[in-house]
Structure 1
Amino acid sequence: MLWQTSSAEAIRHADPPFRVEYFHDPKGPFRFKQDTPDDVWIPIIAQQKWFILSHDNQWHKNQVEHAAPKQHAAGCFYLYGNNSLTWYKLRAFMWASDKITGLAEATARPFVFRAAATGHVTHIKI
């Protein structure tokens, strides 16, 4: 699983039943810079069969970025909380985490889902 935020450290320390990596993780295998273009990092992550978690809920509205998950057979989840405090981001993620991991394992790639503050997860057509 790749996450693009430092909230990933809090999840990592909770010892979840999955591996947590994040975009600019100094301990991670790739250490992407914050400004790395999507068409560079998404294919690398998709090849690893990891799924992407992002708080960037505008991502799918840019036509080029919207095409990236489909083009590279990636699995993506947009999470609630782009402008929220870390606590609310983590709470929303925890409510949705079982659904996210289940969907990530059961859904053929490419896919994009959105996880709401309530933990409700909906499919976004790509």
Structure 2
Amino acid sequence: MARLDMDVAWHAMPKSKLGVTGSAHNEPLFHPEESDDAWLAEVGRRGWIVFSHDRKFHTVGFESELSAIKQHGVGCFYLWGGSAKKYEKAQCFFKAYDRILAAIESTPLPFIFDVQRSGRLKRVEIP
């Protein structure tokens, strides 16, 4: 099994902090109220991948976020289970893990994938 050995940006539920996995002090890199456009620009500049439960980026009314994903060449995975129990979220992620790695390696940026409960990935169109 391949190992996800890269920096990732994590955009969590609204009550959680925005940050980066593996941070030395476990403090958020971005302020929770920072605009999506601002932190997505930094994520794109650093070549990070976004994992989020926040599917709003590909819905009507959030065209500026979708535009930022496209403009800054960001790869995004929207994980199933925003309100699910942690172990259910983990199960979903581990089911999808190999597919996520394959998508990162084979899909040109920008991209958005919806990680379904089954662990399957569904590509989201970026207009």
TM-score class normalised by the smaller sequence: 0.7 to 0.9
**Superposition CA RMSD, Å:** 2.2
Q: In 1, Cα distance between the equivalents of 2:85 and 2:24?
A: 23
State the TM-score, normalized to the length of structure 1: 0.78
Query: Which residue pairs with 1:3 in the alignment?
Result: 10
- Equivalent pair of 1:4/1:53 in contact (CA under 8 Å): yes
SS at match of 2:25: coil
Number of matched pairs: 111
Are the aligned partners of 1:57 and 1:78 in contact in 2 as well (CA < 8 Å)? yes
Aligned to 1:82: 82
Q: Indicate if the aligned counterparts of 2:79 and 2:93 stay in contact, CA closer than 8 A.
A: yes
Aligned to 2:47: 49
**Letter paired with 2:11:** Q
**1:117 and 2:124 equivalent?**
no
TM-score (norm. length: structure 2): 0.77
Unaligned runs of 5+ in 2: 1-7, 14-18
* 8 Å CA contact 2:49, 2:74 repeated in 1: yes
Aligned to 2:68, the other structure's residue is in SS state: helix
Give me the whole-angstrom Cα distance separating, in 2, the residues matched to 1:76 and 1:82. Answer: 15
Is the Cα contact below 8 Å between 1:114 and 1:122 reproduced in 2? yes
Extract unaligned runs of 5+ from structure 1.
7-19
SS in 2 for 1:76: strand
**Equivalent residue of 2:76, what SS?**
strand
